[in-house]
Amino acid sequence: MEVIINLSYIAASILFIFGIKMLGKADTAKRGNLVSAWGMGLAIVVTCIHPAFADKILWIVLAFAIGGAIGAVAAKKVPMTGMPEMVALFNGVGGLSSVLVGWAEYVRLAKPYWDQARFNEQTDTALLPPLDLLPPLSGFTMAVIFLAVFIGAVTFTGSIYAWGKLSGKLGGAAKTFPAQKACNALLLAVTVLCGVLFPLMPEGEVGLLLLTGATLGALLLGIFGVMPIGGGDMPVVISLLNSLSGLAAAAAGFVIVNNVLIVAGCLVGCSGLILTVIMCKAMNRTLTNVLFSGFGSTQSSQQVEGEMKALSVEDAYYVLESARNVVFVPGYGMAVAQAQHVVKELAELLEENGAEVRFAIHPVAGRMPGHMNVLLAEADVPYEQLCEMDAVNPTMEMVDVAIVIGANDVVNPAAGEDPSSPIYGMPIINVHHARTVFALKRGKGAGFSGLVNTLFFRENTRMIYGDAKATIAGLVGQFKEK
Amino acid sequence: MHDLLLLLFIFTLAAFLGFELIAKVPSQLHTPLMSGSNAISGITIVGAIVAILDNPVGSVAFLIGIGAMILAAVNVVGGYLVTDRMLGMFKKKDKPAPKA
C-alpha cells in the first residue's frame, strides 16, 4: 500500500511539473492548468488510502465541500478587475492552511507530554515513571514545524494586508513610521529567537509558549513587512507572496515527511521567485530595495516646469480623427474605471478609420504581474495588438497619438532624466516621444505612488480630466456621430 | 536522519527544476501562471487530510486539521477555477470569443 501511495505521489509530481511548464506557453496554458488539477486530484485521492478513512470520510468530504464551495463561488463571481485581490486572498488562505498543518502536527506529537504532566500533577509522582521515559521530541521535526508556521503566517497576514491595499480598504500608499526598520528588526529577532529555542525545549508549556510566540511574531511581521511597500510595487509583493505560499507548503511537507508536498511546494516557491525577479527587473530595482525602502514616501527634489494643459473630449476627437498611428497605454486607472470594454470599442473605431492601433503594456502596469493583459483579454482585445514595452519604444517617434489611460509611473519621463527621482532607472514606455500624448486622469493629484509625473507638464501632452470610462465613451460617441 | 537527507535531496532537485521550468514567460501569461501555481501551493490539503486521519475525532489536532482542510480547499478549488476562467479569455483574433 505504501508503495502505491508513493508511486502515485511521484505521478502527481510529474503532472505538476508538466502543468507548470505548459502554463508558461500561450497555446498550452489552459491544458497545463488542467494537467496540474489532475495531479492535485490524484494526490488528494491517494492520501485518503488510510485505515481511518472509512470512519472519517464524512468529515473530509464536508470540510472539502465547504472550502470548495467558497472557492468556487469566489472564482466564478470575481470580476476581472478584482483579480489581484482574489489572487492575494487565495494565497493568504493557502498560507494559513500551512500554519494549521504545522500546528496540528505539533499538538499531536506534544499531547502525550501534556497528558503525562497533568497526570503527574494529579497523582503521587514518586510511584510513577518519571517524565523522561517519553523519548524527547525530534528537534528537526520541531524546527520544520516552526518554519512551516513562520512562512505560512507571514504569507497569510502579508496577503491579507496586500488584499486590503489592493481593494482600497487600507489606502494604497506606503505607510512608514519612525523607527519602523528597528521595530521590524526587533520583531524578527524575537520571532527567530522563539524559533531557535523551540526545537530545544518543545515539550511542555514552554514549547507551547514558544511556538505561540513565533506564530504571533510571524503574523505581525507579515503586516509590517507589506505596510511600507507602495502600491506601484504591488506586482512584486504579490508574486513574492505567491512564492512564499509554495515554500510554506514545502515546509509542511518536511513536517509530515511527505514528498508530494515538498516537490509541489518547492516548484511553486522557485517559479514564483523567477516571476518576482522578472517584476523587479521591470522596475530596475532589487528585491531588497522594494521590500525595505518605504518607496513612494519620498519625493524628487526636482522642480517641474511648465503647466498641465487640459483638452476637451471634442478637441481630442479631432486630433484622433486624423491620426494614423495610435498607441494605448493602460494602467491601474483603466482597471479602476472598468474602462477596458469602451477602450476596445474605441480601438475598433480607430482601426475602421484607417489608423494602426496597438496597446503598449508595461510589465508592472497595474497591481499584479500581467494585470493589463487579463483586463484587455476580458474585453476581447486580440492579443496580437498587445505589445510589450521593448517592442513599442523604438517605434514611438512614429506614433501620432499615445493615449495614457490611468497609467502614471510607467510613463514618467523622470525615470530616465531625474537622478533624484525614486523611480530613476526604471524602464518606462517612452510616450513622451510620441507626437501627441493624451493623458486621461481623474484629477490633478499625483498617482498611486504619490510621485509627480513630469509627463503631464510637457509641451506635447494634453490632459483630459474626468472618469476614464466616461471620456473614452465620449470619444466613441463622437466617432459614431460623424 | 536518513529520511531527512532524502527529503532535502528531493527539495534541492525540485528547487532547481522550479527555476528551470519557466524561463521566458510572455507577460500576458504572468497572471494565469501566478494563480495557477497558487492553486498548486494548495497541496497543503494533503497535510490537512493527514492531520484529520491521524488524530481521533474531536481532538484539538483533528479540529485544527479540519480548519486547514477548509482553507486549503478554498485555495485549490478557487485557484484552479479562476485560472481556467482567465485562460478562457485569451483568444486569438480569428476566433471571436463569446461576450463574457
B11 interfaces chain A, CB cutoff of 8 Å: yes
Q: Which of B18, B23, B87 sits opposite A33 (nearest CB)?
A: B87
Chain A residues close to B14, C-beta within 8 Å: 250, 262-263, 266-267, 270
Using the structure block, give the residue that is written with the C-alpha cell 510566540.
A213
Question: How far is it, in rounded angstroms, from Cα A408 to Cα A449?
Answer: 9
The catalytic position among A124, A132, A409, A418 is A409
pLDDT at B59 over 90: yes
User: How many residues are recorded in chain B?
Assistant: 100
* A296–chain B nearest CA distance, Å: 24
pLDDT of residue B98: 45
| Surface of B (41-60) touching A: CB under 8 A | 41-55, 57, 59-60
pLDDT at B92: 61
Separation between Cα atoms, residue B52 and residue A50, nearest integer Å: 11
Continuous H helices in A173-233: 180-197, 204-226
Sign (positive or negative) of CA dihedral B55, B59, B65, B70: positive
According to DSSP, the residues that pair with A325 across neighbouring strands are A356
CA distance A384 to A45: 41
> Which chain B positions have a beta carbon within 8 Å of A56's beta carbon?
52-53, 57
Inter-chain touch A29–B29, beta carbons under 8 Å: yes
Mark yes or no for CB contact A59/B92 under 8 Å.
no
C-alpha cell at B9: 535531496
Nearest by CB to A24, from B14, B29, B55: name it.
B29
> A302 and A269 in contact (C-beta within 8 Å)?
no
The helix (run of H) or strand (run of E) holding residue A439 is strand A436-441
In whole angstroms, what is the distance from residue A18 CA to residue A32 CA? 7
Instruction: Tell me how crowded residue A180 is: count the other CB atoms within 10 A of its CB.
Output: 15
Chosen from A5, A20, A21, A23 to mutate, greatest number of chain B CBs within 10 A:
A23
pLDDT tens digits for range A4-36: 999 999 999 999 999 999 998 888 899 999 999
DSSP string, A9-47: HHHHHHHHHHHHHHHTSTTTHHHHHHHHHHHHHHHHHHH
C-alpha cell at B22: 519557466
- Looking at the partner chain, which of A90, A258, A271 has a beta carbon nearest the beta carbon of B75? A90
Per the CB < 8 A criterion, the answer to whether B97 and A344 are in contact is: no
For chain A, 482 residues long, the average pLDDT of each consecutive 10-residue run is 91 95 88 96 94 90 96 90 88 95 94 83 64 74 94 96 84 71 89 93 90 95 87 84 95 93 94 88 80 58 70 87 91 87 92 91 86 87 86 90 89 85 85 90 66 84 89 89 77
Residue A187 to chain B, least CA–CA distance (Å): 26
Counted across chains A and B, CB pairs separated by less than 8 A come out at: 383
* Gap between the Cα atoms of A134 and A149, Å rounded: 25
B38 and B74 Cβ atoms separated by less than 8 Å:
no
Q: Are strands A386-388 and A356-361 parallel, antiparallel or unpaired?
A: parallel
Q: Which residue from A minimizes the CA distance to B78?
A: A71
**pTM of the full structure:** 0.87
CB contacts of B19 in chain A (<8 Å) are 270-271, 273-274
CB distance A111–B61 less than 8 Å?
A: yes
- Nearest Cα residue in chain B from A255: B47
CB atoms within 10 A of CB A288: 9
> What residues of A are in contact with residue B32 (Cβ under 8 Å)?
23, 29, 33, 370, 374
Q: How far is CA A241 from the centre of its chain?
A: 6
CA gap A283, A290 in Å, rounded = 9
d(CA A367, CA A374): 12
Backbone angles phi, psi at A358, to 5 degrees: -135, 160
Element (H, E) at A261: helix A259-282
Report helix, strand or coil for B74. helix
Closest residue of B to A15, CA-based? B40
Residue A388 backbone dihedrals phi, psi, to 5 degrees: -80, 160
pLDDT of amino acid A456: 87
Sign of CA dihedral A52, A55, A59, A61: positive
Would you state the pLDDT for residue B97?
43
pLDDT tier for residue B96 given thresholds of 50, 70 and 90 = very low
Q: Where are the alpha helices (DSSP H) in A78-177?
A: 83-122, 139-166
Please tell me which of the candidates A34, A64, A101 has its beta carbon nearest to residue B47: A101
- Return the C-alpha torsion angle A371, A374, A380, A384, nearest 10: 80
Cα nearest neighbour of A9 on chain B: B46
Tell me, what's the pLDDT at B99? 39
pLDDT value of position A384: 83
* Cross-chain residue pair A264–B3, CB shorter than 8 Å: no
Nearest beta carbon to residue B28 from set A33, A75, A383: A383
Q: Which residues pair with B69 in a beta bridge?
A: none
Cα distance from B79 to chain A (closest Cα, Å)?
7
- How far does the CA of residue B9 sit from the closest CA of chain A (Å)? 10
Q: In whole angstroms, what is the distance from residue A220 CA to residue A227 CA? A: 11
Distance CA B44, CA B50 (A): 10
Residues in chain A with CB shorter than 8 Å from the CB of B68 are 97-98, 100-101, 104
Residue of A nearest to B58 (CA): A59
A24–B67 CB contact, under 8 Å: no
* Segment 62-81 of chain B within 8 Å of chain A by CB: 62, 64-81
- Cα(A108)–Cα(A148) distance, integer angstroms: 16
Tell me the three cell numbers of residue A163.
488584499
Q: Does B9 touch chain A (CB under 8 A)?
A: no
Annotation says A124 is catalytic: no
Contact in structure between A437 and A458 (CB atoms under 8 Å): yes
